[in-house]
Amino acid sequence: FSKIQRQKGPKDRDKFERSVRFLASVPLFKKQLPRADLPGVAALLTEKTWKPGEELCKEGETGNTFFLIYSGQASVLTA
């Protein structure tokens, strides 16, 4: 794991470290996951940006994604 991180540039390393800090601030991870496991989770994250009003998912759809909101907000609507 360290070898992979060393091969990446400084911007990638900063983004990775920011992700680890963010995960450490999320109550679910803070309470349920040892801090030593956070870098492994951070390495699996994929960043995506949605436009205002864009739908992330619909009620009743089978989901295979876990969403974490780094910035902004989302509304949950039910039918």
Q: What is the pLDDT of residues 14-49, one digit of tens each?
A: 999 999 999 999 999 999 999 999 999 999 998 899
| Higher-confidence position of 8 and 60 | 60
Cα–Cα distance, 39 to 61 (Å, whole number): 30
- Residue 29's contacts (CB-CB under 8 Å, 6 or more residues apart) are 23, 38, 41
What is residue 35's predicted lDDT score, i.e. its pLDDT? Answer: 93
pTM (predicted TM-score): 0.72
Task: Give the per-residue SS3 of 2-43.
Answer: HHHHHHCCHHHHHHHHHHHHHHHHCHHHHHHCCHHHHHHHHH
